[in-house]
Structure 1
Amino acid sequence: MMNCSSRGKLSSFFRTSSSSRSACRQYIIPSHQPVRRLASLAQDVRSDSTFRIPIVDFGRFMSPNSPREREDTANEIVAAFKEVGFVYLSNHGISKSTTDQVFERSAAFFGMPMDVKSKLAWDDPRSNRGYVEQGKERVTQSSDAAEIAELRAKAPDSKETMEIGRDWDSTWKNKWPKEQGCPGFKSTMLEFFQTCHELHFQIMRSIAIGLDLQETFFDDKIHEQYHNLRLLSYPAIKTEILRKEGQARAGAHSDYGTLTLLFQDSVGGLEVQNPHTQQFQPAAPVPGTIVVNVGDLLSRWSNDILRSTLHRVVAPPATKINDREQMTPKRQSIAFFCNPNGGALVDCLPSCHDSSRTKKYAPVTTEQYIVQRLSETYNY
């Protein structure tokens, strides 16, 4: 569990006046997305023409002007997760300088020679650590091994990744490049891992409040930091390849855990499926925000009250090479996959079932579920 000093590091960012937070909120709302009342969200998302992912000021939860403001923010987040499964969080406490440094170190890692990266290869779903080259992964909702193998052969995801877990694990070790080959990589990623965990801890508290649970309900179920920090590099690619049937930079999928914290660069390409129309809609980068989405385990935990929504990465605007070809630019993103403790039993939350809404899923431990999904996804 976080100690007081670690919580204080994240919280200190929010010790600003309410007027400055308001100014930030006005800045990050894109011109094409007018401010709407929370009550209209359920109506907006039922049409593709008005579909939106809400922007929520998390500073109002971390440093509220009143208890009511904190509760209202928690309800906004839960409403977004019920209707869309996604939210943009502003005033989240992670500085631009921090994320810039992570992106720089990530780019340096992927720029290393292939023979160096290959020595750090991912090799076990129980560990889920190390480098994954292009063609090894095909994210999909299918659980059929033969179908996944066919999809991977036909249209593998056009990306490479580096997977990092908690570094003190006595069973599974992270795979780090040598310091002289990638200076500052390990220290930067370890610090960022802890920072993201602290934010996850607070978001889960907001979800507890929004679901009429005790604020600390999840505290002892997520404190072991059984998470995964994923660095992603999407190389530049001819646009015609991404337009082939079934091909994408990352195929349509949902995430496995409780929440995902996604840090995007400015290139774009992320799309979210409208749960009500099944059409994919752009989730364009919004300066100063983190994209946060519900994963499968949190959806199960909530009896599907909170949505684990399909999403994918496709081709953003391309650069013309000649009269016949276009090139889609390279893209970077950082995903922090939040999970409950490995041995935590994910069973229906007490506020999410009653005589009129029965439990939909059998209990499962985090480790059982995550290892099964990873085993199905990778080509090993």
Structure 2
Amino acid sequence: MTVTANLPLIDMAGVREGDEAALHRAGEAIRKACSETGFFYIINHGVPQAVIDAAMAAAKTFFAFSPEVKRQVAVNKRHRGWHALGGALMYEATKPDFKEFFSMGLELPEDDPCVLAGEALRGPNQWPDFMPELRLALDAYYEAMGRAGADLLRAVAVGLGIEPEFFSPKYGKRLQRTQMVYYPPHPPMAESDQFGVAPHTDYGCITLLYQDNSGGLQVRELSTDSWIDATPIEGSLVVNVGDLLARWSNDRFRSTLHRVINKSGHERYSIATFYDPTFSAVVDPCDLGVDTGSYPPVTAGAYILKRIDDSMAYRKKAQ
């Protein structure tokens, strides 16, 4: 593990190939990073740059359409589709986030058993007729990030002192969600409580983020209780622990406050992937070697759904 000016940088080379020494090196580095900051960068993560570039190009094309056009794929009850500016209000925030985003998840047909069983957030994605190339770009990105997430969780398991494949059965029909995010330039006269994304912790297990070179992502450093920049590093993904993994690990791994303020003077783009277990997976700290956990067991889907319901304006209106 090397350390940037602010956050650890972890090399994942060899993990996918089954190199035991590489897996254990990454696991130890992740243990240290997750215990201390909950945030780190990974390099040699296995996601082809061409796949990333195609998805980022698609994001720029999509968000350039007018709101009237994008509204054709407005977010639905499955949390799939386009979320307009002002559609997300983080807990304890006073103003909605100054961003737009487009959400997709695991593509499941209407007759899939999980969809028929009524699992929330499940089903087909909403793909725009006005931009058919979006599906091709995001499907490739989604699958590549899913493979990177599986590699990462093997190292996370090693860092927690459990079997490398512990998490794998929990991801049989993963609740992975990927979001393209667009941040307009931060208003020059904005009040101090206006953010691209207000301070928050993520809901699920782990987040893998690709960000452009605009900057703006900041992390609340635990040791100093101050905001530090997660400066873009070429070829890297930013990874952070979500509340579900913090809960699962009985807080051995930390979920950390972070925010975005786009002061670059131009548009900012990122793509976030929330790599979370299947809806019915039971999250119990006792399964990770903790005799008495601080948290009772929960199912991953119910926990994540509650957090989404609490932060998304369109869901509050429907309740």
Please give the TM-score of this superposition, normalised by the length of structure 1: 0.76
Counterpart position of 1:343: 280
**Aligned-partner SS, 2:55:** helix
Counterpart position of 2:290: 353
**Aligned-partner SS, 1:106:** helix
Against the structure 1 CA distance between its residues 294 and 169, is the aligned structure 2 distance closer, same or farther, given a 3 Å change threshold? farther
Aligned equivalents of 2:300 and 2:20: distance in 1? 33
Aligned equivalents of 1:303 and 1:100: distance in 2? 37
Structure number with larger C-alpha Rg: 1
Counterpart position of 2:98: 158
Question: Which amino acid in the other structure matches residue 376 of structure 1?
Answer: D
**Aligned-partner SS, 1:195:** helix
Q: What whole-Å deviation, never above 9, does each CA across 1:34-78 have from its counterpart, x for those lacking one?
A: xxxxxxxxxxxxxxxxxx3110110043347x6334312211112
Q: After TM superposition, list the pairs within 5 Å mapping 1:32-181 onto structure 2.
A: 33=5, 52-63=6-17, 67-124=20-77, 127-140=78-91, 142=92, 151=94, 155-170=95-110, 171=115, 172-178=123-129, 181=130
Aligned equivalents of 1:342 and 1:121: distance in 2? 23
Q: What whole-Å deviation, never above 9, does each CA across 1:107-163 have from its counterpart, x for those lacking one?
A: 111111211211211132xx11111000111123x4xxxxx6xx2xxx211100000
Aligned match for 1:296, one of 224, 231, 243: 243
Aligned equivalents of 2:45 and 2:20: distance in 1? 18
Cα offset, 1:233, TM superposition: 0.4
Is it true that 1:331 corresponds to 2:271 in the alignment? no
Contact kept? 1:273, 1:279, Cα under 8 Å: yes
Unaligned residue ranges in structure 2 (runs of 5+): 116-122, 315-319
Aligned equivalents of 2:209 and 2:22: distance in 1? 25
Contact kept? 1:305, 1:352, Cα under 8 Å: no
**Aligned-partner SS, 2:285:** coil
Q: How many residues align?
A: 303
Counterpart position of 1:367: 301
Segments of 4+ in structure 1 off by > 4 A? none
Please give the TM-score of this superposition, normalised by the length of structure 2: 0.90
Cα offset, 1:349, TM superposition: 4.4
Counterpart position of 1:379: 313
Question: Which amino acid in the other structure matches residue 329 of structure 1?
Answer: H
Cα offset, 1:96, TM superposition: 1.8
Against the structure 1 CA distance between its residues 122 and 280, is the aligned structure 2 distance closer, same or farther, given a 3 Å change threshold? same
Aligned match for 1:209, one of 150, 158, 161: 158
Against the structure 1 CA distance between its residues 117 and 80, is the aligned structure 2 distance closer, same or farther, given a 3 Å change threshold? same
**Aligned-partner SS, 1:285:** coil
Aligned equivalents of 2:215 and 2:160: distance in 1? 32
Aligned equivalents of 2:172 and 2:61: distance in 1? 31
Contact kept? 2:214, 2:262, Cα under 8 Å: no
Against the structure 1 CA distance between its residues 252 and 186, is the aligned structure 2 distance closer, same or farther, given a 3 Å change threshold? same
Question: Which amino acid in the other structure matches residue 287 of structure 1?
Answer: E
Aligned equivalents of 2:22 and 2:176: distance in 1? 30
Contact kept? 1:262, 1:335, Cα under 8 Å: yes
| Greater alpha carbon shift after TM alignment, 187-196 vs 165-174 | 165-174
Contact kept? 2:183, 2:262, Cα under 8 Å: no
Is it true that 1:246 corresponds to 2:246 in the alignment? no
Contact kept? 2:51, 2:140, Cα under 8 Å: no
Counterpart position of 1:272: 219
Cα offset, 1:183, TM superposition: 3.9
Contact kept? 2:42, 2:237, Cα under 8 Å: yes
Contact kept? 1:61, 1:74, Cα under 8 Å: no
Is it true that 1:227 corresponds to 2:176 in the alignment? yes
Aligned equivalents of 1:246 and 1:236: distance in 2? 16
Against the structure 1 CA distance between its residues 60 and 239, is the aligned structure 2 distance closer, same or farther, given a 3 Å change threshold? farther
Unaligned residue ranges in structure 1 (runs of 5+): 1-24, 34-51, 143-147, 318-327
Contact kept? 2:184, 2:262, Cα under 8 Å: no
**Aligned-partner SS, 2:51:** helix
**Aligned-partner SS, 1:240:** coil
Aligned equivalents of 1:130 and 1:69: distance in 2? 38
Contact kept? 1:250, 1:312, Cα under 8 Å: yes
Aligned equivalents of 2:81 and 2:251: distance in 1? 32
Counterpart position of 2:207: 260
Aligned equivalents of 1:201 and 1:347: distance in 2? 20
Contact kept? 1:232, 1:333, Cα under 8 Å: yes
